[in-house]
């Protein structure tokens, strides 16, 4: 029977989109945070275009009941990955109804708990993973109008795609009804649940803009969402096509897998970008904000037909986000970012030989080289022609799937630009063409200087000293001055001291931060100047400066610790975690070391997000402050849904297991761990 399922699945996958058009789905789901499960009923309305004997709906590890076609029960089967509907489907409109239950192993994440008053539930379907929690379609070419009814505890906000059409409360349970008007690919379906506070705005064109935030972070609302309305209005005007959905929401969620995700009408993003005014200087949400918003057109309205055309989503979103930022931060910023990405691509191309038009291309290729390709094209055919072609492209293929050729066809209608040569250079071959890119960068005066400095990288400092001195004293854009500081890294201190002082005197946060990073072992003669970095309005600069000062001047450690004892930093507590680590490692500072250790260990526990935990664990391991709780928290890290953090946990356990006494400690705690933790630790112990 297993082989029959596999055969039916392959056959259905190949034939289905040609034979059947799924139009609309009405889902009614109940999410249980205690069992981490979803139950629901689903009604798909579809049209059979040509006769077919089996339909498939992707459904990972789900159970089904009451499967009916047009109110009549029909045979069905499951193979752990799909619901297979076995019936002689004939031309015409139909609807399939069924009930299901799922315990998603991924895609729907349950964060925190009701007991600790920090429960959040959110989904992340990009790629083809929505089928882990809702029976849907992993094939991005199957676009459906989704309408979702969600039942949940009334204490929480529940958000899904589209407009909230109805909300009914009954005995502490609320029934939320969300409706879409236009079709989308299944990976863009979302749910987010939490105790959020909502603020409202409206675009120039009248689109409602809803911005959510955790109630404890209300004071960070303005810097977190700064420029949101401005970005929205700009992109509508620049793209030349009205925002394609009826509403736009943004929600920061805990432990999110990526920077952000452009679910149709509702972007989810990481709480890393929930910042106060100081945090905004180092960790602004602006770029991610613009990038995910641009995806509402490039990715959601039109979707790449296959992986090799992925740049049509990521390259466009990256480029339009940069254009939007240019409207806020200016041309120098715009060109500095293009220059930065060009350097990244060139560096990566030494080992990366996969071109943009390949499903296996790197993110750097899809995003940054894709954006560069669009910049070259826009400069080549002119802004007016480019905007006309993009508008025509979006209009013609709205709510459909697209290929690179579809885009090129619209370019051909407005220009005789040599697209064959363009495609070969920018999309079909690896590497980066500086001969084309550098003249485009040199249109900006700051970049002219930046390119000149790049040519001096291997020259002796004496030959470029005067030029560096003059440039640091000029009003040229700060990234140029950062580049100068970067070239000073390996120079003798006495040779570069005056240049570093000039860099500090710029009073630019980023340039001063570059100095903080460059001078890691601080000479006594530079101490007082370096100490001024502790007062910079930048949590990142303060973190760098505190660590290097503490490390360089043992006799001043208590002074630095006293100055910084009330610092907290970003929402990941970066400054507090550093302070605790340094306080513990300073024998002469305070007597309550055990209290500090307890606090630092707590930051490494599941009470905090992965970034906070990893930061705390790194310091605990580096300073060899290791007790049973630290080991337990490290094992728990290996079970985390964020692969970077779980990998960190595994790698550090492997390293610690080399010490016999630590291996014994791990073996001792093994029986008291939960099932997932036991599995991970046992596997590592046996390596």
Which residue is associated with the tokens 């139950």? Answer: 39
User: CB–CB of 286/309 below 8 Å?
Assistant: no
Helix (H, G, I), strand (E, B) or coil at 281: coil
Report the alpha-carbon distance of residue 617 to residue 54 in Å, rounded: 52
Which residues make beta-bridge pairs with 184?
144
Report the alpha-carbon distance of residue 579 to residue 564 in Å, rounded: 7
Distances in whole angstroms, Cα of residue 56 to Cα of each of 15, 81, 189, 435:
10, 10, 19, 51
Report the alpha-carbon distance of residue 498 to residue 354 in Å, rounded: 45
What phi-psi label fits residue 112: left (phi over 0), alpha (psi between -120 and 50 degrees) or beta? left
Taking alpha carbons only, the member of 229, 119, 252, 131 closest to residue 185 is 131
CATH topology of domain 196-296: Neutral Protease; domain 2 (1.10.390)
Q: How far is CA 93 from the centre of its chain?
A: 40
Q: Burial-class residue 427 by CB neighbours within 10 Å (0-12, 13-18, 19+).
A: buried
pLDDT of residue 645: 97
User: CB–CB of 74/98 below 8 Å?
Assistant: no
Two tokens at 454?
A: 């790049």
pLDDT of residue 4: 40
- What is the helix (H) or strand (E) element at residue 388, kind and residue range? helix 383-396
Report the alpha-carbon distance of residue 85 to residue 69 in Å, rounded: 9
Count the neighbouring beta carbons within 10 Å of the beta carbon of residue 126: 17
Which residues make beta-bridge pairs with 32?
37
Helix/strand/coil (H/E/C) assignment for every residue in 353-414: CCCCCCCCCCHHHHHHHHHHHHHHHHHHHCHHHHHHHHHHHHHHCCCEEECHHHHHHHHHCC
* Regions of the chain with pLDDT less than 70: 1-15, 127
Q: Burial-class residue 461 by CB neighbours within 10 Å (0-12, 13-18, 19+).
A: middle
Helix (H, G, I), strand (E, B) or coil at 508: coil
CB contact set of 290 (below 8 Å; sequence gap of 6+): 231, 235, 320, 321, 322, 324, 325
- What is the helix (H) or strand (E) element at residue 178, kind and residue range? strand 173-179
pLDDT of residue 16: 87
Class of domain 302-443 (CATH, top level)? mainly alpha
Report the alpha-carbon distance of residue 44 to residue 85 in Å, rounded: 12
Helix (H, G, I), strand (E, B) or coil at 113: coil
Beta strands in 352-424 (DSSP E): 400-402
pLDDT one-digit tens code per residue, 433-449: 999 999 999 999 999 99
Which residue is associated with the tokens 């029986």? Answer: 671
678: DSSP letter: H
Report the alpha-carbon distance of residue 514 to residue 508 in Å, rounded: 10
pLDDT of residue 15: 65
Taking alpha carbons only, the member of 194, 192, 185, 121 closest to residue 160 is 192
Report the alpha-carbon distance of residue 543 to residue 224 in Å, rounded: 21
Two tokens at 244?
A: 């394609």
Beta pairing, strands 184-185 & 191-194? unpaired
Q: Where in the chain is the domain with CATH 1.10.390.10?
A: 196-296, 302-443
User: CB–CB of 400/393 below 8 Å?
Assistant: no
pLDDT one-digit tens code per residue, 87-125: 999 999 999 999 999 999 999 999 999 999 999 999 999
User: CB–CB of 161/190 below 8 Å?
Assistant: yes
User: CB–CB of 197/214 below 8 Å?
Assistant: yes
Report the alpha-carbon distance of residue 102 to residue 162 in Å, rounded: 24
CB contact set of 568 (below 8 Å; sequence gap of 6+): 575, 576
User: CB–CB of 548/520 below 8 Å?
Assistant: yes
Which residues make beta-bridge pairs with 152?
174
Report the alpha-carbon distance of residue 137 to residue 12 in Å, rounded: 12
Phi, psi at 261, each rounded to 5°? -145, 130
Report the alpha-carbon distance of residue 515 to residue 504 in Å, rounded: 7
Report the alpha-carbon distance of residue 270 to residue 32 in Å, rounded: 23
**DSSP states of 538-568 as a string?**
-HHHHHHHHHHHHHH-GGGHHHHHHHHTT--
Taking alpha carbons only, the member of 180, 274, 295, 146 closest to residue 218 is 274
Report the alpha-carbon distance of residue 4 to residue 1 in Å, rounded: 5
Q: What architecture is the 1-193 domain classified under in CATH?
A: Sandwich (2.60)
- What is the helix (H) or strand (E) element at residue 121, kind and residue range? strand 120-123
- What is the helix (H) or strand (E) element at residue 69, kind and residue range? strand 62-69
Report the alpha-carbon distance of residue 86 to residue 8 in Å, rounded: 9
Among the residues of 557-674, which ranges form H helices? Answer: 557-564, 574-584, 593-603, 610-622, 628-637, 643-656, 660-669
Which residues make beta-bridge pairs with 97?
43, 68
pLDDT of residue 592: 86
Helix (H, G, I), strand (E, B) or coil at 535: helix
């Amino acid at each position: 029977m297993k082989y029959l399922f596999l055969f039916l699945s392959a056959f259905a996958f190949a034939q289905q989109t040609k034979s059947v058009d799924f139009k609309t789905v009405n889902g009614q789901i109940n999410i249980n945070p205690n069992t981490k499960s979803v139950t629901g009923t689903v009604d798909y309305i579809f049209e059979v275009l040509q006769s077919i004997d089996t339909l498939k709906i992707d459904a990972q590890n789900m159970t089904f009941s009451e499967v009916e076609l047009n109110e009549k029960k029909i045979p069905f089967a499951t193979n752990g990955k799909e619901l297979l509907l076995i019936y002689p489907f004939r031309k015409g409109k139909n609807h399939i109804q069924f009930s299901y239950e799922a315990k998603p192993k991924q895609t729907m994440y349950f964060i925190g708990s009701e007991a600790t008053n920090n429960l959040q539930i959110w989904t992340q379907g990009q790629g083809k993973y929505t089928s882990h929690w809702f029976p849907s379609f992993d094939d991005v070419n199957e676009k459906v109008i989704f309408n979702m009814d969600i039942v949940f505890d009334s204490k929480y906000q529940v958000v899904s795609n589209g407009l909230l059409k109805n909300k009914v409360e009954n005995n502490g349970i609320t029934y939320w009804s969300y409706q879409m008007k236009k079709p989308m690919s299944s990976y863009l379906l979302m749910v987010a649940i939490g105790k959020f506070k909502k603020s409202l705005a409206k675009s120039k064109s009248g689109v409602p803009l809803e911005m959510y935030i955790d109630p404890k972070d209300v004071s960070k609302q303005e810097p977190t969402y700064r420029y949101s309305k401005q970005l929205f209005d700009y992109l509508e005007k620049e793209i030349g096509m009205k925002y394609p959905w009826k509403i736009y929401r943004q929600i920061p969620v805990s432990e999110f897998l990526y920077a952000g995700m452009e679910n149709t009408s509702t972007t989810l993003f990481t709480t890393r970008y929930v910042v106060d005014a100081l945090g905004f200087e180092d960790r602004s949400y602006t770029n991610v904000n613009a990038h995910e918003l641009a995806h509402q057109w490039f990715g959601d309205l039109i979707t790449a037909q296959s992986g090799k055309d992925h740049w049509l989503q990521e390259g466009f979103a990256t480029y339009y986000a940069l254009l939007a930022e240019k409207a806020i931060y200016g041309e120098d910023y715009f060109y500095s970012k293009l220059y930065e990405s060009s350097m990244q691509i060139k560096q990566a191309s030494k080992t990366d030989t996969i071109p943009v038009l390949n499903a296996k291309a790197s993110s750097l290729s899809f995003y940054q080289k894709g954006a560069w390709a669009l910049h070259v094209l826009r400069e080549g055919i002119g802004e007016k022609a480019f905007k006309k072609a993009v508008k025509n492209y979006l209009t013609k293929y709205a709510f459909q799937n697209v290929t690179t050729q579809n885009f090129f066809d619209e370019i051909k209608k407005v220009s005789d630009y040599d697209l064959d040569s363009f495609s070969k250079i920018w999309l079909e071959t690896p590497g980066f063409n500086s001969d084309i890119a550098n003249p485009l960068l040199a249109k900006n005066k700051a970049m002219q200087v930046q390119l000149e400095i790049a040519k001096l990288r291997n020259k002796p400092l004496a030959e470029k000293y005067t030029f560096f001195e003059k440039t640091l004293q000029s009003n040229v854009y700060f990234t140029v001055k950062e580049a100068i500081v970067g070239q000073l890294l390996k120079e003798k201190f006495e040779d570069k001291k005056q240049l570093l002082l000039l860099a500090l005197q710029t009073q630019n946060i980023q340039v001063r931060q570059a100095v903080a990073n460059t001078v890691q072992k601080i000479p006594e003669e530079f101490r007082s100047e370096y100490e001024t970095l502790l007062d910079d309005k930048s949590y990142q600069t303060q973190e760098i400066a505190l660590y290097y000062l503490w490390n360089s001047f043992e006799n001043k450690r208590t002074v630095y610790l006293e100055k910084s004892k009330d610092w907290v930093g970003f929402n990941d507590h970066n400054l507090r975690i550093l302070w605790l680590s340094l306080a513990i490692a300073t024998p002469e500072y305070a007597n309550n070391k055990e209290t500090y250790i307890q606090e630092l260990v707590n930051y490494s526990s599941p009470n905090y997000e992965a970034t906070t935990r990893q930061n705390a664990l790194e310091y605990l391991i580096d300073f060899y402050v290791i007790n049973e709780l630290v080991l337990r928290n490290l094992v728990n890290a290996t079970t985390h849904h964020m692969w970077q953090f779980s990998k960190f946990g595994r790698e550090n356990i492997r390293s610690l297991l080399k010490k016999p006494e630590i291996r014994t400690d791990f073996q001792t705690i093994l029986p008291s761990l939960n099932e997932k933790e036991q599995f991970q630790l046992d596997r590592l112990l046996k390596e």
